[in-house]
């Protein structure tokens, strides 16, 4: 027996309008994906998003969630960023161009303003005759909390 399809909260109209402007239909599936990303307030993998859909008892299969994410990223409503082996998705916001600092121990993600970094990279690319279409920067390292914990462990000789 199929689970009952529950109505999803409406996705912000402007995001759905962008889909229409690019020739895509406004579907319940895309609205659900947008609403879940909105409520998450951060980065999610497709797998995490599909799990949230299942937790809500919605009758969307995983392939539909993946296709919706691909379409939303293609239109620019969602930003897709490769972080390690997985692609993480977040809502795109005008004027919120950023890159990521990721702690390799606790996976905390910090946004880094893109303006200065992009200017340097685009300038270097231009000198090489390269036309930049997209810049994504991921800096991996240790956040202050994990760095402090590692330092303390090293001082006491405790295993990591």
Q: pLDDT at position 159, please? A: 54
- DSSP letter string, the chain: -PPPPPPPPPPPHHHHHHHHHTT----HHHHHHHHHHHHH-S-EEHHHHHHHHHHTT----HHHHHHHHHHHHHHTSEEEEEETTEEEEEE--TT--EEEEEETTT--EEEEEHHHHHHHHHHHHHHTTPPPS----EEEE--HHHHHHHHHHHHHT---
Neighbours of 66 (CB within 10 A): 15
CATH number at residue 12: 1.10.10.10
Q: pLDDT at position 20, please? A: 81
Are residue 87 and residue 147 in the same domain, yes or no? no
Are residue 77 and residue 104 in the same domain, yes or no? no
Domain final residue, candidates 94, 117, 149 = 94
Are residue 106 and residue 121 in the same domain, yes or no? yes
> What's the domain count of the chain?
2
Are residue 85 and residue 8 in the same domain, yes or no? yes
Confidence class for position 115, pLDDT limits 50, 70, 90:
confident
CATH number at residue 111: 3.30.1490.190
pLDDT in tens, 22-67: 888 888 889 999 999 988 877 899 999 999 999 988 888 889 999 9
| Long-range own/partner contacts, residues 4-12 (CB < 8 A, 24 or more apart) | 4/57, 4/59, 5/58, 5/59, 6/56, 6/57, 6/58, 8/32, 8/35, 8/58, 9/35, 10/35, 11/35, 11/38, 12/38
- Per-residue tokens: 122: 């685009």
Are residue 20 and residue 90 in the same domain, yes or no? yes
Sequence-distant (≥ 6) Cβ neighbours of residue 19 within 8 angstroms: 25, 26, 30, 71, 72, 75, 77
Are residue 103 and residue 141 in the same domain, yes or no? yes
Are residue 23 and residue 88 in the same domain, yes or no? yes
Domain final residue, candidates 76, 94, 112 = 94
Q: pLDDT at position 1, please? A: 44
Are residue 64 and residue 108 in the same domain, yes or no? no
Are residue 16 and residue 71 in the same domain, yes or no? yes
Confidence class for position 136, pLDDT limits 50, 70, 90:
confident
Residue 83 has pLDDT above 90, yes or no: no
Are residue 115 and residue 131 in the same domain, yes or no? yes
Lowest mean pLDDT among 53-67, 68-82, 107-121: 107-121
Q: pLDDT at position 7, please? A: 41
Confidence class for position 107, pLDDT limits 50, 70, 90:
confident
Domain final residue, candidates 94, 110, 134 = 94
Residue 27 near residue 67 (C-beta atoms within 8 A): no
Domain around 28? 1-94
Are residue 66 and residue 17 in the same domain, yes or no? yes
Interatomic CA distance for residues 41 and 91, integer angstroms:
8
Are residue 86 and residue 136 in the same domain, yes or no? no
Q: pLDDT at position 157, please? A: 56
């Amino acid at each position: 027996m199929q689970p009952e399809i529950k109505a999803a909260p409406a996705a912000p109209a402007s995001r759905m309008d962008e889909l229409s402007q690019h020739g895509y239909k406004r579907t319940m599936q895309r609205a659900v994906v947008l609403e879940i990303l909105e409520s998450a307030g951060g980065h999610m993998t497709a797998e995490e998003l599909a799990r949230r859909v299942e937790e809500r008892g919605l009758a969307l299969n995983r392939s539909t969630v993946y296709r919706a994410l691909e379409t939303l990223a293609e239109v620019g409503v969602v930003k897709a960023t490769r972080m390690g082996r997985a692609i993480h998705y977040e809502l795109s916001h005008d004027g919120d161009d950023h890159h990521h600092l990721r702690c390799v121990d606790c996976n905390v993600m910090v946004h880094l303003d893109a303006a200065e970094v992009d200017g340097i990279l685009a300038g270097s690319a231009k000198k090489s005759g390269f036309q930049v279409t997209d810049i994504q920067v991921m800096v991996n390292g240790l956040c202050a909390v994990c760095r402090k914990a590692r330092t303390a462990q090293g001082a006491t000789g405790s295993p990591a």
